[in-house]
């Protein structure tokens, strides 16, 4: 119920003494003491920064799994099998990236940043953020030379992922690039999984393709790792609906 409400953009405020529940489902946590809020932050930062008011998982494993505040966090760090999170549902609407020359369908309610002439960014609303990490979707169009070919797409994709990996010092994994068209153009995509310094698991996909008039289109979606299968449905909607403005 909570996931359905927040996915619809509804802000939910709860008061609870069940710290494990809060660590698993809340987007922001705060400690109310003596009539005032004395501490506040994302669940991972909030609980891993407290010695007394924290989860059992953090108390037991903080010295060997820094930043792990739920049983699933600990299981992931030690290589165990983690039960899947509940699937999320989204409502979709049309977006117009006029400066890039494309329209597509994606989850509604996202903040749009089209201030740059070559980039269009959608950011998940704060009320819907899970595990302290928002889903961010970036579309970018860059000029390429007339002799730019499929092998160059593969090279640029590999370099993009290499640069992206520097943001994840704890762990960084990529899969094997696969051929797949995007907006009708020849392209390649690859998936990745990264672990941030605070233990947050992030997953995503980068898809690049050659489009008309010597341009390279890049679609990048990044999301909280535990909900990857849900957020990839957003990618699927963008992929199947993106088209050039006529």
pLDDT digits (tens, 9 = 90+) for 204-223: 999 999 998 799 999 999 99
Q: Per residue in 109-118, pLDDT tens?
A: 999 999 999 9
pLDDT top residue among 200 and 82:
200
Q: Is 116 exposed, middle or buried (0-12, 13-18, 19+ CB in 10 A)?
A: exposed
Q: What angle do CA 177, 183, 185 make, to 5 degrees?
A: 60
Does pLDDT of 56 surpass 80? yes
Q: What is the pLDDT of residue 175?
A: 94
Does pLDDT of 4 surpass 70? no
Looking at the chain, list the stretches that DSSP marks H as alpha helix, in order from N- to C-terminal side.
2-7, 19-25, 43-48, 56-61, 71-77, 150-165, 228-241
pLDDT top residue among 116 and 199:
116
Q: What angle do CA 132, 134, 139 make, to 5 degrees?
A: 160
Q: Is 174 exposed, middle or buried (0-12, 13-18, 19+ CB in 10 A)?
A: middle
The conformation of residue 218, written as its DSSP 8-state character, comes to: E
pLDDT top residue among 44 and 194:
194
Return the percentage of the chain with pLDDT > 70, whole number.
96
Q: What is the pLDDT of residue 3?
A: 66
Q: What is the pLDDT of residue 8?
A: 66
C-alpha–C-alpha distance, residues 133 and 138, integer Å: 15
Does pLDDT of 186 surpass 80? yes
Q: What is the pLDDT of residue 82?
A: 67
Residue 58 pLDDT level (bands cut at 50, 70, 90): confident
Q: Per residue in 99-111, pLDDT tens?
A: 999 999 999 999 9
Q: What is the pLDDT of residue 137?
A: 98
Lowest mean pLDDT among 78-82, 138-142, 151-155, 186-190: 78-82
Token reading at 205 = 């996909």
């Amino acid at each position: 119920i909570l996931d359905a409400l927040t996915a619809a953009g509804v802000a939910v405020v709860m008061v609870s003494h069940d710290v494990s529940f809060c660590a698993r489902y809340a987007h922001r946590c705060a400690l109310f003491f003596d009539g005032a809020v004395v501490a506040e932050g994302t669940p991972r930062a909030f609980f891993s920064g407290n010695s007394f008011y924290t989860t059992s998982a953090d108390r037991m494993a903080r010295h060997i799994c820094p930043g792990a505040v739920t049983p699933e966090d600990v299981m992931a760090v030690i290589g165990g099998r983690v039960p899947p999170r509940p699937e999320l549902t989204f409502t979709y609407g049309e977006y117009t990236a006029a400066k890039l020359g494309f329209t597509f369908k994606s989850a509604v309610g996202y903040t749009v940043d089209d201030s740059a002439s070559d980039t269009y960014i959608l950011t998940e609303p704060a009320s819907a953020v899970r595990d302290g990490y928002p889903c961010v979707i970036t579309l970018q169009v860059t000029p390429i030379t007339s002799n730019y070919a499929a092998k160059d797409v593969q090279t640029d994709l590999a370099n993009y992922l290499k640069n992206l990996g520097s943001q994840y010092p704890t762990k960084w994994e990529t899969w094997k690039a696969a051929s797949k068209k995007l907006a009708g153009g020849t392209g390649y995509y690859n998936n990745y999984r990264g672990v941030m310094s605070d233990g947050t698991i992030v997953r995503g996909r980068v898809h690049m393709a050659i489009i008309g008039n010597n341009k390279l289109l890049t679609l990048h979606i990044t999301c909280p790792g535990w909900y990857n299968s849900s957020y990839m449905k957003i990618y699927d909607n963008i992929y199947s609906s993106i088209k050039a403005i006529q």
